[in-house]
């Protein structure tokens, strides 16, 4: 019986960096992932990295699969699930105005499990987008679907604007972790890389802790541990052993925990935190947010 | 000098859609094209002796042109139709409408009795918006069969109702946490699967619909359905045939044979899933290398909002009359110009689905921007559906050289719902404003969006001239147009917005000899009887194409 595929929906308005993020995952991951994207051209994978190019499905030399939505998201999902190289992780990139919750509904299909929805927000345009009454509702609905919100391009806008965007997002989704990250850094954070790979560069403001010594009594204990991690935790990923010798793949995105069977060797767990604030809003994790 | 293929067709009357020669009694054809139109004597001056009198007691018209339909209209050969209104099937047979839950159960029971136990039954087109009865649920469907999984796909395409056998086949039970799995008040599953994610739980049945819609058989049944409805040129508005060389080849091969009974316009679909427009443009241009007399690629399609009866059109203040506004743009409005720019620059026409007036405004403004960047004056970019266009929008659109394709069939199929539920008594009268468009000077055509409404221009002409609803209301007497105006909207004006008016749309020298063959003259019958005129079939490139059952 194949383990369920851990599925992350990647949402956010046009220009937020979803495509850069997905490309980053595909090129840095060391564990094969599958992605479903709007079309191949925008992903722009180096030809040298392709091993096979079908009409709707592309196979990469690192074992990743990339499927274009075409006419039907359901059909793309079934294509991935039926593929002999069954990946353990699937990212579904939504279109710029899609409701990530509607896409997330597909994670209830047998064979998939919800690994958490990440919604990207473009700091350069978010305020204007929210103000545009034709799309205000769309913008807010996307945020409400998120388990984790990532604000991108904060490095190219004025500090005041970055602050205003964070405040806006926080006002719409009061309990959802928010972080600021470049899409490529976000890709490294979300990608299910083996835990020995450096996730964040020393100048990034995230703290990545790597632990290899755990063995958990059972799945319940494992889940309890994951759920009890500090609120500043934005991402956890790992392959850990249980005391009966079986192995679990673990993910936490925002507050959403998922645990699935794994056939890989346990390599430990990596926990990524954004420095917590001092202002009494523990869920507001992220550099400079206070 | 005559050739072997020369022929003169005579008819009781020929309506040419050419105002400078509106009627005739004979048409001479050579090599699939109109050689001459006029009196029999004038036509024989070409020396042609082969006079074909099979249509002597019929009315020939310039072949009807449908600028907005979908190949999905051919799916009923494999998926039984269970909609409210009676329909003609691609094989020529007629299916009665399903007017109640009891009738649906009876229809399904009959299908079940001829289906091996355990095999799935998939039907489509069910439309409860017209019914007052209890909402359809699994218990109703269980009355039809408990040993066949049953999947009833609703006409709105967002909902399916299934029976207990299907739920248990796919292990969908009360523990399901999937959104869209419907329940009774007591928590028991009611058989509703709302939206694609829930419908996909019925994996085999849902995929069967998708595969049927895209199959070659469906494509051919679609072409037969169009011919039977008297359509000679039809635009499949929004497909992905352009996406790779294999499908481009396949489209060419399907349309080349003599037997293929229509002229097919393939409009590639943009937006939504397509964000890489430069590649899409390359693919559309690559498609054009496969064009032939019966295969054309003049325009592309963008869908910008939803539907009024689904409350997903973007409607301006004061918004919807009742219910909740779920209006949405399917593409970020600010990205529309970027999406369309490569096609405008390549002189490829753009048809944009805009049901709400806010949506029409986005497209109109985008075209204004595109024109200021690149002055392609003969663009004819088309607002399709265009149901809620305001006079101000129509003036601006006219100024920009745009045209509309009005969804006049809505006045019949959803007229009462628009008046009482969606837009209210005032706006309902101004939906699909053909007469105002005439007064303002905005060009337009009319369409069916088949299979959303049944194929055929007699109904669109009737709807445009009468604007009558099933309850007997007339919605907007001052928007009614004349039969002559409607006839031109269904022929030359549709050809115009497909950039094919030099090829089809009227019977004139040098254009394709495409004709619709009718038993009666639409100008002469009682206005309320136009939709009932029998269609013998068509003539395509001079070759008679009888309808199934003719």
pLDDT digits (tens, 9 = 90+) for B24-73: 999 999 999 999 999 999 999 999 999 999 999 999 999 999 999 999 99
Measuring CA to CA, which residue among B40, B71, B50 is closest to residue B2? Answer: B50
B10 beta partners:
B26
Chain A residues lying within 8 Å of B330, measured CB to CB: 97
Q: Which residues contact B184 (CB under 8 A, 6 or more apart)?
A: B137, B190
The mean of the pLDDT values for chain B is 95
- Mean pLDDT, range B351-378, rounded to an integer: 98
Give A253's strand partners: A235, A256
- For residue B275, give the nearest of A38, A55, A74 by CB distance: A38
Which residues of chain A does B176 touch, with a Cβ-Cβ cutoff of 8 Å? 108
> pLDDT band for position A288 (50/70/90)?
very low
Q: Does pLDDT of A289 surpass 60?
A: no
**Cβ-based neighbour number of residue B547 at 10 Å:** 20
Of B179, B196, B274, the CB nearest to A38: B274
CA B475/CA B481 separation, integer angstroms: 13
Helices B203-213/A73-82 angle, 10° precision: 120
Identify all chain B residues contacting A96, using CB atoms and an 8 Å cutoff. Answer: 275, 331-332, 335
Q: How far apart are CA B78 and CA B139, in angstroms?
A: 25
Minimum CA–CA partner of A98 in chain B: B330
Question: What is the rounded CA–CA span in Å between residue A114 and residue A257?
Answer: 9
Element housing B28 (H / E): strand B23-30
| Confidence at residue A278, expressed as pLDDT on a 0 to 100 scale | 28
Residue B275 confidence (pLDDT) above 70: no
Measure CB to CB from residue A134 to each of B195, B330, B333 and give the nearest one: B333
Using a CB-CB cut-off of 8 Å, the residues of chain A touching B207 are 74-75, 78
Three-state DSSP at B261 gives coil
Kindly report which listed range (A148-152, A208-212, B461-465) carries the lowest average pLDDT score. Answer: A208-212
Measuring CA to CA, which residue among B36, B2, B21, B19 is closest to residue B10? B36
Which residues in A lie closer than 8 A to residue B272 (C-beta atoms)?
Answer: 38, 95
- Closest by alpha carbon to B452, among B129, B61, B108? B129
- Give Cα A202 to chain centroid, integer Å: 21
A102 chain-B contacts, CB cut-off 8 A? 195, 197
Of B327, B321, B325, nearest to B425 by C-alpha is B321
pLDDT digits (tens, 9 = 90+) for B473-495: 999 999 999 999 999 999 999 99
Residue of B405, B408, B410, B388 whose CA lies nearest to B299 = B405
A contacts of B314 (beta carbons < 8 Å): 134
- Whether pLDDT at A285 is above 50: no
Instruction: Kindly list the residues from chain A whose CB atom is less than 8 angstroms away from the CB atom of residue B276.
Output: 38-42
H or E element that contains B235: strand B231-239
Interface test with B, best of A9, A97, A112, A128 (most B CBs within 10 A): A97
Predicted confidence band at A193 (pLDDT cuts at 50, 70, 90)?
A: low
- The answer to whether the beta carbons of residues B236 and B276 sit under 8 Å apart is no
B4 to each of B32, B36, B54, B292, B516, how far by Cα in Å? 12, 16, 18, 23, 24
Q: Are B114 and B142 in contact (CB under 8 A)?
A: no
Please state, as a whole number, how many other Cβ atoms lie within 10 Å of the Cβ of residue B286.
Answer: 14
For residue B3, what pLDDT is reported?
Answer: 59
**B548 CB burial (10 A radius; 0-12, 13-18, 19+):** middle
For residue A172, count other CB atoms closer than 10 A to its CB: 17
pLDDT, position A204? 55
Rounded to a whole number of angstroms, the distance from the CA of A109 to the nearest CA of chain B is: 6
Point out which residues pair with B524 in neighbouring strands. Answer: none
Query: What would the pLDDT profile of B76-93 be if each residue is shown by its tens digit?
Result: 999 999 999 999 887 888
Instruction: List all residues 6 or more positions away from B331 whose beta carbon is below 8 Å from its beta carbon.
Output: A95, A96, A97, B271, B272, B302, B304, B339
Q: What SS3 state is found at B538?
A: strand
Are residues B329 and A13, on separate chains, in Cβ contact within 8 Å?
A: no
Query: How confident is the model over A121-142, as a mean pLDDT?
Result: 94
Nearest chain B residue to A101 by CA distance is: B179
Confidence of residue B2 (pLDDT cuts 50, 70, 90): low
Q: How far is CA B108 from the centre of its chain?
A: 27
Residues 6+ apart with CB under 8 A from B335: A14, A96
More confident call, A56 vs B152: B152
- Distance, CA of A264 to CA of B164 (rounded, Å): 39
Minimal C-alpha gap between A94 and chain B (Å): 9
CB < 8 Å to A77, chain B: 200
Chain B interface disruption, residue of A1, A67, A71, most B CBs within 10 A: A71
Q: Which of B214, B316, B329, B334 to mutate to test the interface with A (most CBs of A within 10 A)?
A: B334
Chain B residue nearest residue A128, CA to CA: B334
Between A and B, how many residue pairs show a Cβ–Cβ distance under 8 A?
A: 104
Element (H, E) at B189: strand B189-194
Interface contact B173, partner A, CB < 8 A: no
Could you tell me the two tokens for B381? 């970019």
Provide the shortest C-alpha distance from residue B191 to chain A (in Å). 17
Query: Can you tell me the mean pLDDT for B483-509?
Result: 98
Report whether pLDDT(B153) > 60.
yes
d(Cα A221, Cα A236) in Å, to the nearest integer? 16
Helices (H) and strands (E) in chain B, counts: 19, 24
pLDDT grade for A281, boundaries at 50, 70 and 90: very low
What DSSP letter does each residue of chain A carry, written as one string? -PPPEEEEEEEESTTSSHHHHHHHHHHH-SS-EEEEES-HHHH---GGGEEEE-SSEEEETTS-EEEE-TT-HHHHHHHHHHSSS--SEEEEEPPTT--HHHHHGGGGSTTEEE---EEEEETTTHHHHHH-TTTHHHHHHHHHT-SEEEEE-GGGS-HHHHHHHHHHHHHH-TTS-EEE--HHHHHHHHS---TTS--S-TTSS-EEEEE---EESSHHHHHHHHHHS-TTEEEEEEEEEETTS-EEEEEEETTEEEEEEE-SPP-EEEEEEPPPPSSS-TT--STT--
Confidence tier at A201 by pLDDT (50, 70, 90): low
Residues B458, B547: contact at Cβ < 8 Å? no
Chain A interface, best mutation among B75, B197, B212, B363, by max A CB count within 10 A: B197
Mean pLDDT, chain A, integer: 85
- ipTM value of the model? 0.87
Q: B243: nearest CA in chain A?
A: A55
B198 with A105: Cβ contact below 8 A: yes
> What is the mean pLDDT of the segment spanning B88-112?
92
CA distance A187 to A94: 16
Q: Verify whether the Cβ–Cβ distance B276 to A73 is below 8 Å.
A: no
Q: Is A75 in Cβ contact with B207 (below 8 Å)? A: yes
Q: What is the 3-state secondary structure (H, E, C) of A193-239?
A: CCCCCCCCCCCCCCEEEEECCCEECCHHHHHHHHHHCCCCEEEEEEE
Contact B331 A77 (CB under 8 A): no
Question: Nearest CA of chain B to the CA of A208: how many Å?
Answer: 33
Question: What confidence score (pLDDT) does residue A277 get?
Answer: 37
Task: Produce one character per residue of A77-98: b if its CB has 16 or more CB atoms within 10 Å, e if not.
Answer: bbbbbeeeeebbbbbbbbbbbb
CA distance B504 to A218: 73
From B361, which residue of chain A is nearest by alpha-carbon distance? Answer: A134
Which of B276, B303, B356 to probe the A interface (max A CBs under 10 A)? B276
What is the DSSP track for A37-71? ES-HHHH---GGGEEEE-SSEEEETTS-EEEE-TT
In whole angstroms, give the CA distance from residue B481 to residue B461: 9
**Does the distance separating the beta carbons of B272 and A108 come in below 8 Å?**
no
């Amino acid at each position: 019986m194949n383990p369920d595929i851990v599925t992350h929906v990647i949402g956010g308005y046009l220009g937020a960096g979803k495509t850069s993020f997905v490309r980053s995952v595909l090129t840095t991951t060391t564990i094969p992932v599958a992605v479903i994207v709007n079309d191949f051209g925008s992903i722009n994978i180096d030809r040298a990295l392709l091993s096979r190019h079908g009409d709707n499905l592309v196979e990469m030399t690192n074992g990743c699969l990339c499927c274009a939505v075409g006419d039907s998201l359901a059909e793309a999902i079934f294509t991935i699930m039926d593929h002999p190289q069954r990946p353990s992780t699937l990212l579904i990139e939504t279109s710029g105005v899609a409701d990530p919750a509607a896409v997330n509904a597909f994670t209830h299909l047998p064979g998939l499990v919800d690994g958490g929805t990440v919604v990207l927000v473009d700091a350069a345009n978010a305020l204007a987008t929210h103000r545009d009454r034709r799309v205000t509702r769309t913008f807010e609905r996307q945020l409400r679907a998120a388990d984790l919100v990532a604000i991108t391009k904060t490095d190219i806008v004025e500090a005041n604007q970055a602050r205003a965007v964070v405040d806006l997002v926080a006002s719409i989704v009061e309990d959802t972790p928010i972080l600021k990250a470049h899409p490529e850094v976000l890709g490294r954070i979300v990608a299910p890389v083996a835990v020995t790979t450096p996730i964040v560069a020393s100048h990034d403001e995230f703290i990545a802790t790597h632990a290899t010594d755990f063995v958990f009594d059972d799945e319940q204990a494992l889940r309890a541990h994951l759920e009890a991690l500090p609120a500043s935790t934005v991402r956890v990923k790992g392959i850990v052993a249980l005391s009966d010798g079986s192995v679990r793949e673990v993910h936490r995105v925002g507050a959403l925990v998922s645990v699935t069977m794994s056939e890989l060797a346990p390599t430990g767990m990596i926990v990524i935190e954004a420095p917590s604030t001092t202002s009494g809003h523990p869920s507001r994790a992220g550099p400079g947010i206070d | 000098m005559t050739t072997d293929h020369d022929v003169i067709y005579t008819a009781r009357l020929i309506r040419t859609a050419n105002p400078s020669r509106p009627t005739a009694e004979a048409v001479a054809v050579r090599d699939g094209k109109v050689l001459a139109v006029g009196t029999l004597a004038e036509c024989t001056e070409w020396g042609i002796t082969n006079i074909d009198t099979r249509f002597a007691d019929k009315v020939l018209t310039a072949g009807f042109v449908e600028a907005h339909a979908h190949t999905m209209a051919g799916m009923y050969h494999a998926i039984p139709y269970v909609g409210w209104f009676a329909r003609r099937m691609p094989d020529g047979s007629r299916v009665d409408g399903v007017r109640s839950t009891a009738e649906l159960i009876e229809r399904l029971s009959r299908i079940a009795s001829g289906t091996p136990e355990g095999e799935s039954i998939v039907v489509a087109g069910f439309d409860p918006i017209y019914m007052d009865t209890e909402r359809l649920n699994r218990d109703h469907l269980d009355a039809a069969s408990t040993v066949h999984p049953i999947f009833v796909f609703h006409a709105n395409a967002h909902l399916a109702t299934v029976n207990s056998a299907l739920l248990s086949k796919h292990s969908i039970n009360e523990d399901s946490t999937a959104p869209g799995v419907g329940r009774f008040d007591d928590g028991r599953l009611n058989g509703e699967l709302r939206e694609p994610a829930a419908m996909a739980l019925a994996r085999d049945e849902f995929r069967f619909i998708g595969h049927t819609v895209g199959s070659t058989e469906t494509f051919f049944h679609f072409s037969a359905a169009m011919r039977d409805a008297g359509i000679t040129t039809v635009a499949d508005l929004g497909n992905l045939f352009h996406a790779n060389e294999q499908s481009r080849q396949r489209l060419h091969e399907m349309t080349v044979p003599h037997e293929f009974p229509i002229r097919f316009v393939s409009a590639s679909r943009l937006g939504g899933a397509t964000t890489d427009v430069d590649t899409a443009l390359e693919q559309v241009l690559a498609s054009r290398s496969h064009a032939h007399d019966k295969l054309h690629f003049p325009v592309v399609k963008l869908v910008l909002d939803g539907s009024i009866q689904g409350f997903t059109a973007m409607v301006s203040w004061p918004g919807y009359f009742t219910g909740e506004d779920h209006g949405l743009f399917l593409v970020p409005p600010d990205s529309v110009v970027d999406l369309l720019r490569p096609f405008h620059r390549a002189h490829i026409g753009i048809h944009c689905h805009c049901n709400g007036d806010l949506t029409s405004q986005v497209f109109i403004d985008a075209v204004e921007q595109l024109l200021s960047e690149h002055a392609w004056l003969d663009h004819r970019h088309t607002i399709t559906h265009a149901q809620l266009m305001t006079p101000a929008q129509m003036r601006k659109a006219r100024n920009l050289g745009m045209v509309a394709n009005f969804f006049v069939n809505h006045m019949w199929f959803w007229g009462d719902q628009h008046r009482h539920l969606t837009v209210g008594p005032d706006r309902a009268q101004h939906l699909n404003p053909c007469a105002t468009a005439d007064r303002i000077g905005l060009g337009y055509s009319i369409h069916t969006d088949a299979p959303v409404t049944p194929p055929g221009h007699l109904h669109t002409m009737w709807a445009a001239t009468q604007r009558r609803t099933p309850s007997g209301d007339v919605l907007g007497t001052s928007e009614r147009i004349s039969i002559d105006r409607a006839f031109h909207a269904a022929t030359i004006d549709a050809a115009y917005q497909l950039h094919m008016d030099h090829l089809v749309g009227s019977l004139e020298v040098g254009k394709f000899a495409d004709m619709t063959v009718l038993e009666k003259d639409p100008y002469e019958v009682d206005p309320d009887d136009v939709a009932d005129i029998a269609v013998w079939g068509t003539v395509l490139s001079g070759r008679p194409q009888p309808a199934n059952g003719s």
